[in-house]
Amino acid sequence: MTKAPSDLENLLVSFDLTDPLRDRLYLVLAALPSEVQRDFIEDDRFCIRPLSREKSCETLLALPAPDGSGSRCVVLKKRLASCSQAFGLYVIAHELAHAYLRNGSWEQFTDPEEAADALAASWGFDKPASWF
């Protein structure tokens, strides 16, 4: 299985080519370990979508269950394109970490939020000291 750029770009189909959030998302996806990229690319239930303001009531998603059932859809707010680059990339990586972990634990981190932060940091996306 190759990780050709087109495979990653297939994960971006919900975003306009002109959407700055698409660029940030691609930066994060391209930095992920190949086994994580493969996990996303090969799972038909995995998707990443921009949060649509008009349809904000649709953003309540089933959290993925540890057994792999349920949704693996990541929804990103538009604000992630306009906040600082470090914070935007961190949040995107954090949400992708939840999806990769099926909202579960990672290594010694049993709390899903701590696990997502730790995994995102291992990918190079530390929680910024400043959120702006």
Angle at 37 between CA 2 and CA 97, to 5 degrees: 170
Comparison of 3 and 77: residue with beta carbon closer to Zn ion: 77
Number of residues counted as binding Zn ion (CB under 5 A): 2
Q: How far is the CB of 53 from Zn ion (least distance, A)?
A: 21
Q: How far is the CB of 80 from Zn ion (least distance, A)?
A: 13
Q: How far is the CB of 94 from Zn ion (least distance, A)?
A: 5
Comparison of 16 and 113: residue with beta carbon closer to Zn ion: 113
Comparison of 3 and 83: residue with beta carbon closer to Zn ion: 83
Specify which residues 15 forms β-bridges with: none
Comparison of 29 and 92: residue with beta carbon closer to Zn ion: 92
Quick note: the x/- pattern for Zn ion over 83-122, rule CB under 5 A, is ------------------------------x--x------
**Contacts of range 33-42, beta carbons closer than 8 Å, 24 or more positions apart:** 33/123, 34/3, 36/96, 36/100, 36/123, 37/3, 37/7, 37/8, 38/1, 38/3, 39/100, 40/11, 40/96, 40/99, 40/100, 41/3, 41/7, 41/8, 41/10, 41/11, 42/1
Q: How far is the CB of 99 from Zn ion (least distance, A)?
A: 10
Contact at 8 Å (CB) between 98 and 116? Answer: yes
List contacts with Zn ion (CB under 5 A).
113, 116
